């Protein structure tokens, strides 16, 4: 039985435009592109080091931690770290958006591979099987923090050893949860997808728009 894309209501949240932008606490070019796609005005809140290098942002799963709780914890921690840096640098106050993505196979978290050998091993495990891609989005301002979770199911076709070798050699697997990027060459491996394509990329736009609406963050309104 093939996959059928999940449907959403055609009603879109209308976000009131304010004379300020939000901060994006992420180095990811794909998250910047996705946020711009829905007209959100933002500034990138750069970290001197990678956010995960911070002791408070250890990406090691906790004992017994399930994938959904794992990505929500990291997204919240990244938003909190972004807010802390905003205060340290005395930047104008505005909401901080952060996200975290992981792959789960039969409930087991497959994070970012340590090297290309591990990336190849992950792809071999995903070959011919269905797995989940979970992305949590957190939005923090002075008064509160809210978080939303997107869970999608992806099915890979069977991958040969040569398929994996050639893909890993491109370097596209580097620093990617599960060892692949669906928006790149790995798209040819995807036999089915149920859920959010943008969520699998790293920023689920429906959930992000809902968070922005609830917290009244700005978004361009185009006729």
Q: Under a CB-based contact definition with an 8 Å cutoff, are residues 62 and 74 in contact? A: no
Q: What is the 3-state secondary structure (H, E, C) of the chain?
A: CCCCCCCCCCCCCCCCCCCCCEEECCCCHHHHHHHHHCCCCEEECCCCCCHHHCHHHCCCCCCCCCHHHHHHHHHHHHHHHHHHHHHHCCCCCCCEEEEEEEEEECCEEECCCCCHHHHHHHHHHHCCCEEEEEEEEEEECCCCEEEEEEEEEEEECCCCHHHHHHHHHCCCCCCCHHHCCCCCHHHHHEEEEECCHHHHHCCCHHHHHHHHHHCCCCCCCCC
Task: Tell me the per-residue pLDDT of 121-147, one tens digit each, with 9 for 90 and over.
Answer: 999 999 999 999 999 999 999 989 999
pLDDT score, position 16: 40
Choose the catalytic residue: 54, 100, 115, 163: 100
Task: Tell me the per-residue pLDDT of 150-188, one tens digit each, with 9 for 90 and over.
Answer: 999 999 999 999 999 999 999 999 999 999 999 999 999
Backbone CA torsion sign across 209, 210, 213, 215: negative
| CA–CA dist 177, 104 (Å, integer) | 9
pLDDT score, position 57: 77
Task: Give percent above pLDDT 70 in the chain.
Answer: 83
pLDDT score, position 49: 56
pLDDT score, position 50: 56
pLDDT score, position 26: 93
pLDDT score, position 220: 54
| pLDDT of 67 higher than 60 | yes
Better-predicted residue by pLDDT, 5 or 203: 203
Mean per-residue pLDDT for 39-67?
A: 79
Better-predicted residue by pLDDT, 190 or 8: 190
pLDDT score, position 219: 52
Q: Is 100 a catalytic residue?
A: yes
Task: Tell me the per-residue pLDDT of 52-62, one tens digit each, with 9 for 90 and over.
Answer: 555 457 889 99
| pLDDT of 109 higher than 90 | yes
pLDDT score, position 199: 98
Better-predicted residue by pLDDT, 27 or 10: 27
pLDDT score, position 139: 97
| pTM of the entire predicted model | 0.85
pLDDT score, position 215: 85
């Amino acid at each position: 039985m093939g996959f059928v894309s999940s449907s959403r209501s055609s009603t879109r949240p209308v976000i009131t435009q304010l004379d300020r932008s939000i901060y994006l606490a992420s180095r990811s070019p794909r998250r910047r592109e996705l946020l711009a796609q829905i007209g959100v005005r933002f500034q990138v809140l750069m970290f001197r080091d990678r956010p995960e290098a911070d002791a408070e942002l250890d990406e090691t799963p906790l004992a017994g931690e399930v994938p959904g709780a794992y990505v929500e914890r990291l997204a919240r921690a990244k938003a909190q770290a972004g807010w802390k840096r905003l205060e340290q640098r005395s930047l104008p106050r505005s909401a901080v958006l952060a996200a975290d993505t992981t792959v789960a196979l039969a409930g087991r978290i497959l994070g970012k591979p340590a090297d290309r050998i591990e990336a190849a091993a992950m792809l071999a495990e995903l070959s011919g099987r269905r797995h989940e891609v979970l992305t949590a989005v957190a939005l923090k301002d002075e008064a509160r923090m809210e978080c939303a979770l997107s869970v999608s199911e992806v099915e890979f076709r069977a991958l040969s050893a040569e398929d994996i070798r050639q893909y890993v050699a491109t370097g596209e697997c580097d620093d990617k949860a599960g060892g692949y990027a669906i928006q790149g060459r790995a798209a040819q491996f995807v036999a089915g997808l149920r859920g959010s394509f943008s969520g699998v990329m790293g920023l689920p736009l429906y959930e992000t728009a809902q968070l922005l609406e609830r917290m009244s963050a700005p978004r361009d309104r185009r006729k």
